[in-house]
A and B are shown apart, each in its own frame.
Chain A
Amino acid sequence: DAGVIQSPRHEVTEMGQEVTLRCKPISGHNSLFWYRQTMMRGLELLIYFNNNVPIDDSGMPEDRFSAKMPNASFSTLKIQPSEPRDSAVYFCASTREHGTGGSTEAFFGQGTRLTVV
């Protein structure tokens, strides 16, 4: 398997523009997570999907952020309008069942480095 695939790898955009980040989870995984990583705050969970349904979006910073998962193989994270403080690395992760008892192991994509100028 190619692993979790994110695009683009780098994005530079001007303040106020719309930004769309994309993620393809590992085939067969049924949970998908969006994380944001910054030097100041480390890794923060933004939103979590299970079977394409958003379960926990309490980490989404504000209404400018939205995420969708129209099917099991694709998810998007959109920022509209973007602001300089949104500059960060955004990671997508997917999980599979590991062993018995419903336990899970997360696999991460390579991330999208977003710079808003």
Chain B
Amino acid sequence: KQEVTQIPAALSVPEGENLVLNCSFTDSAIYNLQWFRQDPGKGLTSLLLIQSSQREQTSGRLNASLDKSSGRSTLYIAASQPGDSATYLCAGWEETSGSRLTFGEGTQLTVNP
């Protein structure tokens, strides 16, 4: 069974700092990996999708990488802002009986002004 782990569970940083969130998965059968953001009481917002054939994706201040051989993905946030405060979730797409998206437990990020 696929397991997705995120480290750290919580992170507090001062504004302007660059930071890295980590995600690891147990089964290299993951073919894509997706990063989401969730604000309190809200739904999940898709940030980046890394396809199996890619190694990284960038959107603005966000950069996500995927290394299937080591079972790891990282989300890099440059020049963090208080508005970045949220829970960040990674999820791996795996081809089982059809497609299945398995989530990690998330990293709760607080960016202090």
Contact = CB atoms under 8 A, between A and B. Distances in A.
Interface of A: 31, 33, 42-43, 45, 48, 50, 55-56, 58, 91, 93, 95, 98-99, 101, 103-111, 113
Contacts, number: 64
B97 interface: yes
Contacts of A107: 46
Contacts of B102: 45
Given A56-B98, A93-B44, A101-B53, 11 more contacts: A31-B98, A33-B101, A48-B99, A56-B96, A56-B97, A93-B101, A95-B99, A103-B51, A108-B45, A109-B43, A111-B42
B98 A50 contact: yes
A103 B101 contact: no
28 contacts: A31-B99, A42-B105, A43-B91, A45-B101, A50-B98, A55-B98, A56-B96, A56-B98, A58-B97, A93-B101, A95-B99, A98-B49, A99-B51, A101-B52, A101-B53, A103-B32, A103-B49, A103-B51, A103-B93, A104-B99, A105-B46, A106-B46, A108-B44, A108-B45, A108-B46, A109-B43, A110-B43, A111-B43
Interface in B40-84: 41-46, 49, 51-53
B23 to A, nearest CB: 13
Contact of A42 (B97, B99, B103): B103
Interface residues of B, number: 28
A95 B49 CA distance: 12
A113 B49 CA distance: 27
